[in-house]
Amino acid sequence: MVSSATIPEVSTAARVTGARIDVRNVSHWFDLPAGPLHVIDELDLSIAPGEFVALLGPSGCGKSTLLRLVAGLEPATTGELLQDGAPITQPDPSRIVVFQDPTLFPWRTVWDNVALGLQARGILKSQRHRVDEALALVGLQDFAKAFPHQLSGGMAQRVALARALVNDPTLLVLDEPLGKLDSLTRLSMQTELVQLWQRAGFSALLVTHDVEEALFMAQRVVVFSDRPARVKQVLVNDLPYPRHRGDPRLAALRHEALALLGLDASW
């Protein structure tokens, strides 16, 4: 362990340079038995390096589909998606998705779950410390040996976060990651996520249908129309972090967002 020849790998907590993502003129159809379903319509969207962007829209409008395209899990029907200028054609460890369900592998311990990405790339043996660091980052170092079924919903989602962060992603794709948590856990996880993002420096793309969550966390909130998804409006939230939930500016933005979604009657 005293070999000075090997330079220690960049630790998980270290800053990365966020990815720049460009979505250019993307349209997408699903090939369903009943005929093609148009889910995304000529969408243009850019994420600056290190930016936190949220996608807000009615459910079933194609937000999650866009995430899958950005992650490279599916190819877009037409148009192009670029990461730092290079086309996105397949999944890549630099763009990690955190799903609504933690989707932890139930047969693996917490530690082994977090180690998944490093193991998949065959670098686990030399990088074991990164797993410990990622677990420490989400405050779960004491639960390394636990199995997923022993965790609460919030803890499981934090493990999923650690499993994403251990890969030092330059883009973190968040698909309603807090959607199934109870409201208190949800609020604290929002703050935690923002802190992680600020510390690590990755770009973040969050899909949510929670207006407050989107406005509280993101710098830019893209409001989508009904399916097929089109950009209805982009709300810019330039409030500095850490933000305060009672900020009048947030309230004003929230009103605006709800109006865009046709829900301002009850405001």
Residues that bind other proteins (CB under 8 A): 71-73, 91-93, 95-97, 99, 101, 103, 105-108, 116-117, 119-121, 143, 145-147, 149-155, 163, 167
Which CB atom, from 151 or from 223, has the smaller least distance to other proteins?
A: 151
CB 166, min distance to other proteins, A: 9
Got the DSSP string for 85-132?
Answer: TEE--S--TTEEEE-SS----TTS-HHHHHTHHHHHTT-TTT-HHHHH
Minimum Å gap between C-beta 182 and other proteins is: 8
Q: 132: how many CB neighbours lie within 10 A of its CB?
A: 16
Instruction: Closer to other proteins by CB, 96 or 235: give it.
Output: 96
Q: Is the Cβ of residue 128 or residue 255 nearer to other proteins in the bound state?
A: 128
d(CA 256, CA 267): 10
Least distance to other proteins, CB of residue 120, Å: 4
Spatial distance between the Cα atoms of 188 and 114, rounded to a whole number of angstroms: 21
| Residue that has been written with the tokens 């800053």 in this structure | 15
The single-letter code of the amino acid at 227 is R
CB of 28 to other proteins, least distance (A): 17
Q: In this complex, which beta carbon is closest to other proteins, that of residue 41 or of residue 132?
A: 132
Least separation in angstroms between CB 216 and other proteins: 24
Residue 254 gets which letter from DSSP?
H
Gyration radius of the chain over CA positions: 19
* Minimum distance from residue 262 beta carbon to other proteins (Å): 31
Looking at the Cβ atoms of 49 and 93, the one nearer to other proteins is 93
107 vs 267, beta carbon nearer other proteins? 107
* DSSP character string of 2-51: --SSSPPPPPTTS--PPPPEEEEEEEEEEEETTEEEEEEEEEEEEE-TT-
Give the list of residues 6+ apart from residue 231 with CB closer than 8 angstroms, or none: 43, 44, 45, 222, 223, 224, 225
**How many Å separate Cα 11 from the centre of its chain?**
20
User: Measured in Å, how far apart are the chain's first and last C-alpha atoms?
Assistant: 62
CB closer to other proteins, 41 vs 92: 92
Q: Least distance (Å) from other proteins to the CB of residue 42?
A: 26
